[in-house]
Amino acid sequence: MTSRKTAIVLGGSSDIGRAAARAFAKAGYDVALAGRDVAALEPDAADLRARYDVVVGLYKFDVLDTASFEGFVNGLPALPDVVISIVGLLGVQENAESDLAHATTIMRSNYEGPSLILGLFAEKFLGRGTGTIVGVSSVAGDRGRASNYVYGSAKAGFSAFLSGLRARASRGGVHVVTVKPGFVRTRMTEGMKLIGPLTVDAPVVGDAILGAVENKTDVVYVSGKWRLVMLIIKTLPEAVFKKLRF
Protein backbone atom coordinates (compact mmCIF):
# COMPACT_ATOMS: atom_id res chain seq x y z
CA MET A 1 0.00 0.00 0.00
CA THR A 2 1.36 3.39 -0.87
CA SER A 3 0.96 5.86 1.94
CA ARG A 4 -1.06 8.99 1.32
CA LYS A 5 0.54 12.27 0.45
CA THR A 6 0.62 14.99 3.07
CA ALA A 7 0.40 18.76 2.93
CA ILE A 8 1.00 21.25 5.71
CA VAL A 9 -0.62 24.67 5.65
CA LEU A 10 1.13 27.46 7.54
CA GLY A 11 -1.45 30.08 8.44
CA GLY A 12 -4.19 27.48 8.45
CA SER A 13 -6.88 29.62 10.02
CA SER A 14 -6.98 32.23 7.24
CA ASP A 15 -9.74 31.98 4.65
CA ILE A 16 -7.25 31.03 1.94
CA GLY A 17 -5.58 28.58 4.32
CA ARG A 18 -8.87 26.84 5.01
CA ALA A 19 -9.67 26.75 1.31
CA ALA A 20 -6.26 25.29 0.46
CA ALA A 21 -6.58 22.65 3.16
CA ARG A 22 -10.00 21.68 1.80
CA ALA A 23 -8.72 21.47 -1.76
CA PHE A 24 -5.84 19.18 -0.78
CA ALA A 25 -7.95 17.03 1.53
CA LYS A 26 -10.53 16.66 -1.22
CA ALA A 27 -7.78 15.50 -3.54
CA GLY A 28 -6.85 12.78 -1.05
CA TYR A 29 -4.02 14.37 0.91
CA ASP A 30 -3.75 14.07 4.66
CA VAL A 31 -3.32 17.62 5.90
CA ALA A 32 -1.80 19.49 8.77
CA LEU A 33 -2.78 22.97 9.85
CA ALA A 34 -0.31 25.20 11.62
CA GLY A 35 -1.18 28.47 13.28
CA ARG A 36 -0.73 30.67 16.30
CA ASP A 37 -3.85 29.48 18.08
CA VAL A 38 -4.16 25.70 17.85
CA ALA A 39 -7.46 25.59 19.73
CA ALA A 40 -8.98 27.92 17.15
CA LEU A 41 -7.98 25.46 14.42
CA GLU A 42 -9.91 22.57 15.99
CA PRO A 43 -13.22 23.30 14.20
CA ASP A 44 -11.43 23.42 10.86
CA ALA A 45 -9.73 20.12 11.59
CA ALA A 46 -13.10 18.57 12.46
CA ASP A 47 -14.53 19.99 9.23
CA LEU A 48 -11.78 18.39 7.13
CA ARG A 49 -12.13 15.04 8.86
CA ALA A 50 -15.90 15.00 8.50
CA ARG A 51 -15.88 16.07 4.86
CA TYR A 52 -13.04 14.05 3.44
CA ASP A 53 -12.26 11.33 5.94
CA VAL A 54 -8.58 12.34 6.06
CA VAL A 55 -6.05 12.50 8.88
CA VAL A 56 -5.58 16.06 10.12
CA GLY A 57 -2.75 17.25 12.34
CA LEU A 58 -2.58 20.54 14.22
CA TYR A 59 0.60 22.42 15.11
CA LYS A 60 1.47 25.63 16.79
CA PHE A 61 3.35 28.00 14.53
CA ASP A 62 4.05 31.72 14.89
CA VAL A 63 5.65 33.36 11.87
CA LEU A 64 7.20 36.11 13.99
CA ASP A 65 8.92 33.63 16.29
CA THR A 66 11.74 32.76 13.94
CA ALA A 67 13.76 31.23 16.78
CA SER A 68 11.21 28.44 17.01
CA PHE A 69 11.39 27.48 13.32
CA GLU A 70 14.03 24.78 13.50
CA GLY A 71 12.31 23.14 16.45
CA PHE A 72 9.01 23.33 14.59
CA VAL A 73 10.28 21.64 11.44
CA ASN A 74 12.28 19.01 13.32
CA GLY A 75 9.34 18.35 15.62
CA LEU A 76 7.00 17.28 12.83
CA PRO A 77 6.38 13.53 12.93
CA ALA A 78 7.25 13.29 9.24
CA LEU A 79 8.37 15.64 6.55
CA PRO A 80 5.30 16.59 4.44
CA ASP A 81 5.18 16.30 0.66
CA VAL A 82 3.88 19.82 0.26
CA VAL A 83 4.28 22.91 2.42
CA ILE A 84 2.07 25.93 1.79
CA SER A 85 2.67 29.28 3.40
CA ILE A 86 -0.40 31.48 3.47
CA VAL A 87 0.90 33.64 6.28
CA GLY A 88 0.73 37.36 5.75
CA LEU A 89 -0.39 40.60 7.30
CA LEU A 90 -1.90 43.47 5.34
CA GLY A 91 -1.54 45.95 8.19
CA VAL A 92 -2.42 49.60 7.81
CA GLN A 93 -0.18 51.52 5.45
CA GLU A 94 -0.92 54.90 7.03
CA ASN A 95 0.09 53.67 10.45
CA ALA A 96 3.15 51.92 9.08
CA GLU A 97 4.37 55.22 7.65
CA SER A 98 5.07 56.57 11.13
CA ASP A 99 4.88 53.59 13.44
CA LEU A 100 8.09 51.64 13.01
CA ALA A 101 6.88 48.74 15.10
CA HIS A 102 3.86 48.28 12.88
CA ALA A 103 5.94 48.57 9.72
CA THR A 104 8.36 46.01 11.13
CA THR A 105 5.57 43.57 11.89
CA ILE A 106 4.24 43.86 8.33
CA MET A 107 7.69 43.35 6.85
CA ARG A 108 8.52 40.39 9.07
CA SER A 109 5.13 38.72 8.62
CA ASN A 110 5.21 38.91 4.84
CA TYR A 111 8.89 38.51 4.08
CA GLU A 112 11.22 37.46 6.85
CA GLY A 113 9.11 34.75 8.49
CA PRO A 114 7.65 33.10 5.38
CA SER A 115 11.00 33.12 3.58
CA LEU A 116 12.92 31.65 6.50
CA ILE A 117 10.46 28.88 7.19
CA LEU A 118 10.11 27.88 3.54
CA GLY A 119 13.90 28.06 3.22
CA LEU A 120 14.17 25.56 6.06
CA PHE A 121 11.67 23.21 4.49
CA ALA A 122 13.55 23.55 1.21
CA GLU A 123 16.75 22.28 2.81
CA LYS A 124 14.93 19.24 4.17
CA PHE A 125 13.14 18.61 0.87
CA LEU A 126 16.42 18.88 -1.04
CA GLY A 127 17.97 16.41 1.35
CA ARG A 128 15.17 14.00 0.53
CA GLY A 129 15.12 14.90 -3.16
CA THR A 130 11.38 15.61 -3.44
CA GLY A 131 8.79 18.08 -2.26
CA THR A 132 6.77 21.08 -3.25
CA ILE A 133 6.90 24.50 -1.66
CA VAL A 134 4.11 27.00 -2.13
CA GLY A 135 4.36 30.62 -1.13
CA VAL A 136 1.33 32.84 -1.32
CA SER A 137 2.69 36.23 -2.28
CA SER A 138 0.73 39.09 -3.85
CA VAL A 139 0.31 41.14 -6.99
CA ALA A 140 1.06 43.99 -4.62
CA GLY A 141 4.69 42.84 -4.78
CA ASP A 142 4.88 43.38 -8.52
CA ARG A 143 5.17 47.14 -8.10
CA GLY A 144 5.16 49.38 -5.07
CA ARG A 145 2.06 51.51 -4.83
CA ALA A 146 1.56 54.68 -2.82
CA SER A 147 -1.31 53.09 -0.97
CA ASN A 148 0.41 49.95 0.34
CA TYR A 149 4.13 49.88 -0.37
CA VAL A 150 5.14 48.61 3.05
CA TYR A 151 3.14 45.45 2.51
CA GLY A 152 3.96 45.42 -1.21
CA SER A 153 7.69 45.68 -0.70
CA ALA A 154 7.67 42.78 1.76
CA LYS A 155 5.70 40.71 -0.75
CA ALA A 156 8.18 41.77 -3.45
CA GLY A 157 10.98 40.45 -1.28
CA PHE A 158 9.09 37.22 -0.72
CA SER A 159 8.41 36.80 -4.46
CA ALA A 160 12.11 37.33 -5.21
CA PHE A 161 13.07 34.83 -2.52
CA LEU A 162 10.72 32.23 -3.99
CA SER A 163 11.95 32.85 -7.49
CA GLY A 164 15.59 32.38 -6.46
CA LEU A 165 14.75 29.34 -4.38
CA ARG A 166 12.92 27.84 -7.34
CA ALA A 167 15.92 28.27 -9.60
CA ARG A 168 18.16 26.54 -7.10
CA ALA A 169 15.78 23.85 -5.80
CA SER A 170 14.52 22.68 -9.17
CA ARG A 171 17.91 21.09 -9.78
CA GLY A 172 17.38 19.02 -6.65
CA GLY A 173 13.94 17.74 -7.51
CA VAL A 174 12.07 20.28 -5.43
CA HIS A 175 9.39 22.46 -6.97
CA VAL A 176 8.54 25.99 -5.82
CA VAL A 177 5.23 27.69 -6.61
CA THR A 178 4.55 31.40 -6.25
CA VAL A 179 0.87 32.28 -5.95
CA LYS A 180 -0.36 35.79 -6.57
CA PRO A 181 -4.03 35.77 -5.75
CA GLY A 182 -5.02 39.35 -6.62
CA PHE A 183 -8.22 40.44 -4.92
CA VAL A 184 -9.81 37.72 -2.82
CA ARG A 185 -12.98 38.11 -0.80
CA THR A 186 -11.67 37.26 2.67
CA ARG A 187 -11.65 38.58 6.17
CA MET A 188 -8.49 40.51 5.29
CA THR A 189 -10.13 42.46 2.49
CA GLU A 190 -13.51 42.88 4.12
CA GLY A 191 -14.87 46.38 3.74
CA MET A 192 -12.29 47.25 1.07
CA LYS A 193 -13.34 48.33 -2.38
CA LEU A 194 -12.50 45.39 -4.64
CA ILE A 195 -12.92 45.40 -8.38
CA GLY A 196 -15.64 42.83 -9.06
CA PRO A 197 -14.34 41.15 -12.22
CA LEU A 198 -10.83 40.91 -10.73
CA THR A 199 -12.01 39.43 -7.45
CA VAL A 200 -12.27 35.76 -6.60
CA ASP A 201 -13.47 33.76 -3.60
CA ALA A 202 -11.08 31.87 -1.37
CA PRO A 203 -12.01 28.41 -2.71
CA VAL A 204 -10.87 29.48 -6.17
CA VAL A 205 -7.45 30.23 -4.70
CA GLY A 206 -7.42 26.91 -2.88
CA ASP A 207 -8.13 25.04 -6.10
CA ALA A 208 -5.52 27.10 -7.96
CA ILE A 209 -2.88 26.17 -5.41
CA LEU A 210 -3.69 22.48 -5.73
CA GLY A 211 -3.66 22.78 -9.53
CA ALA A 212 -0.27 24.51 -9.50
CA VAL A 213 1.22 21.82 -7.27
CA GLU A 214 -0.11 18.98 -9.41
CA ASN A 215 0.82 20.64 -12.71
CA LYS A 216 4.15 21.96 -11.47
CA THR A 217 3.33 25.55 -12.38
CA ASP A 218 5.90 28.15 -11.30
CA VAL A 219 3.91 31.35 -10.90
CA VAL A 220 0.14 31.51 -10.70
CA TYR A 221 -1.96 34.60 -11.00
CA VAL A 222 -5.20 33.15 -9.71
CA SER A 223 -7.35 35.20 -12.02
CA GLY A 224 -5.67 35.24 -15.43
CA LYS A 225 -6.72 38.84 -15.88
CA TRP A 226 -4.20 39.87 -13.24
CA ARG A 227 -1.25 38.74 -15.31
CA LEU A 228 -2.26 41.27 -17.94
CA VAL A 229 -3.11 44.01 -15.47
CA MET A 230 0.22 43.61 -13.69
CA LEU A 231 2.12 43.42 -16.96
CA ILE A 232 0.72 46.82 -17.84
CA ILE A 233 1.34 48.23 -14.38
CA LYS A 234 4.89 46.87 -14.28
CA THR A 235 5.79 48.39 -17.64
CA LEU A 236 4.46 51.87 -16.99
CA PRO A 237 7.35 54.33 -16.82
CA GLU A 238 8.00 55.58 -13.28
CA ALA A 239 7.29 59.15 -14.38
CA VAL A 240 3.77 58.13 -15.38
CA PHE A 241 3.23 55.67 -12.57
CA LYS A 242 3.93 58.15 -9.79
CA LYS A 243 1.17 60.41 -11.06
CA LEU A 244 -1.44 57.66 -11.00
CA ARG A 245 -3.61 57.40 -7.95
CA PHE A 246 -3.73 53.98 -6.51
Partner 1 sequence: MTLVSGWGRFPVVDSELLRPRSFEAVGEAVVAGSVARGNGRAYGDAAIGAVRTVAMTGFDRVRSFDPATGRIRLEAGVLLSDLIDTFGPRGFLPFVVPGTRFVSVGGAIAADVHGKNHHCEGGFGRYVDSILLRTGQGETIEASREENSDAFFATIGGMGLTGIILEATMRLRAVETGWIRERVIAASDLDAAMRALDDGDAATYSVAWIDCAAKGRDLGRSLIYLGEHAGPGELADGAAAFPVGKNPGLAVPVDLPAMTLNRTSIRAFNELYYRMGARRAGGSHVVSLYPYFFPLDAIADWNRIYGRRGFLQHQCVIPQAGARAVLGEILGRVAQRGDASFLAVLKKLGEGDGILSFPLPGYTLALDFPVKGDIMNFLDEVDRLVVAAGGRLYLAKDARQSRTTFEVGYPALQRFNAIRRSLDPAGNIRSKLSQRLFDEV
Q: Which residues have a catalytic role annotated?
A: 151
Separation between Cα atoms, residue 120 and residue 29, nearest integer Å: 22
Least Cβ distance, residue 176 to partner 1 (angstroms): 29
Separation between Cα atoms, residue 180 and residue 219, nearest integer Å: 8
In the complex, the residues that contact partner 1 under the rule CB under 8 A are 26, 43-44, 46-47, 50-53, 187, 190
Separation between Cα atoms, residue 91 and residue 88, nearest integer Å: 9
Q: What is the 3-state secondary structure (H, E, C) of 87-153?
A: CCCCCCHHHHHHCHHHHHHHHHHHHHHHHHHHHHHHHHHHHHCCEEEEEECCHHHCCCCCCCHHHHH
3-state secondary structure of 221: strand
Least Cβ distance, residue 43 to partner 1 (angstroms): 5
Q: Which is nearer to partner 1, 75 or 224 (CB)?
A: 224
Q: Which is nearer to partner 1, 27 or 79 (CB)?
A: 27
10, β-bridge pairs: 34, 85
Instruction: Provide the H-helix boundaries in the chain.
Output: 15-26, 38-52, 69-75, 93-98, 100-107, 113-128, 149-169, 202-215, 224-235, 238-241
Neighbours of 232 (CB within 10 A): 9
Distance of CA 145 to the CA centre of its chain: 20
Q: Which is nearer to partner 1, 28 or 164 (CB)?
A: 28
Q: Which is nearer to partner 1, 23 or 136 (CB)?
A: 23
Least Cβ distance, residue 54 to partner 1 (angstroms): 12
Neighbours of 241 (CB within 10 A): 16
Q: Which is nearer to partner 1, 19 or 230 (CB)?
A: 19
Least Cβ distance, residue 63 to partner 1 (angstroms): 21
